[in-house]
Amino acid sequence: MAKDAYQKTLRSLQIELVKLQRHMIENDYKILVLLEGRDAAGKDGTIKRIVEHLSPRETRVVALGKPSDRERSTWYFQRYVPHLPAADEFVLFNRSWYNRAGVERVMGFCTDAEYEEFMATVLDFERMLVGSGVRLIKYYLDISKAEQKERLAERRKDPLKQWKVSLIDAVALKKWKAYSKARDEMLKRTHNPLTPWTIVCSNDKKAARLNLIRDLLSRLPYDGKQPRLLKADPKIVFPYSESCLRDGKIAP
């Protein structure tokens, strides 16, 4: 997509996001969006475009770091609870409690017992959130191995992106298969009718951003919605199913 066309489309969708937030505040909505995916999958850039013109008083981005010793001794979900949305709030998690099913699992930062405990309880936790009125939407941003390799290399060279470089990046490609296995298990075991996973193919950053925003807006009610703007490309954004792991729609 040409830069001008991209910027024009993005602006139209950001206007829709402002409409959504106004409606959300008037109706006491609690919106929670989780963005998961491999390193360099485009989570930061997508979140930046979503929140760019929203009210900072009612919008929060949560990107938690490594848990402290105290946090490691508490109930796993406890460190996430203070960041959940109250009425009128729109909260986006840049990685979430699903760290336990991804990075922690692959890197050995949790035990097998801790992992299984998470898998056995995460859907109960999410049911409680939905039951309390939270509108929970889960996205997994998927990229190919070649695209991740290129983006990580660019990240290391760009002085404005040095803050993104981490020790985890250094082994991301080496552990590609392990991350794929962990992702597949996470999706299989935590996809459900109440809090389903939506896959976003993000090899094309601009297309991924626009189509994720379209999908997000299409899921939520608000006044003045422009449906013609919100038709996401089904090749880029689609509901998870196990067939996605077999037919190449998700990177192996």
pLDDT (tens digit per residue) in 161-172: 877 777 777 788
* Domains (range + CATH), the chain: 3-245 (3.40.50.300)
Q: Facing residues of 134 across strands?
A: 30
- Cα–Cα distance between 128 and 131 in angstroms, integer? 5
- Cα–Cα distance between 76 and 97 in angstroms, integer? 8
Give the pLDDT mean for 183-195.
98
Q: What is the pLDDT of residues 127-157, one digit of tens each?
A: 999 999 999 999 999 999 999 999 999 988 8
Based on C-alpha coordinates, what's the Rg of the chain?
18
> Could you give the C-alpha distances from 15 to 19, 91, 152, 224, in angstroms and in order?
6, 18, 32, 10
Q: Is the pLDDT of residue 198 over 90?
A: yes
Burial profile 85-115: b = 16 or more Cβ within 10 angstroms, e = fewer: beebbbbbbbbbbbbbbbbbbbeeebeeeeb
Question: For the purposes of burial, counting CB atoms within 10 Å of the CB of 233, is it exposed (0-12), middle (13-18) or buried (19 or more)?
Answer: middle
Residue with tokens 């010793």: 69
Report which DSSP code applies to 137: E
Confidence grade of residue 241 (pLDDT, cut at 50, 70, 90):
very high
Q: What pLDDT does 156 receive?
A: 85
- Cα–Cα distance between 57 and 8 in angstroms, integer? 26
Confidence grade of residue 200 (pLDDT, cut at 50, 70, 90):
very high
Q: What pLDDT does 215 receive?
A: 98
For the chain, the average pLDDT equals 96
Sequence-distant (≥ 6) Cβ neighbours of residue 107 within 8 angstroms: 168, 171, 175
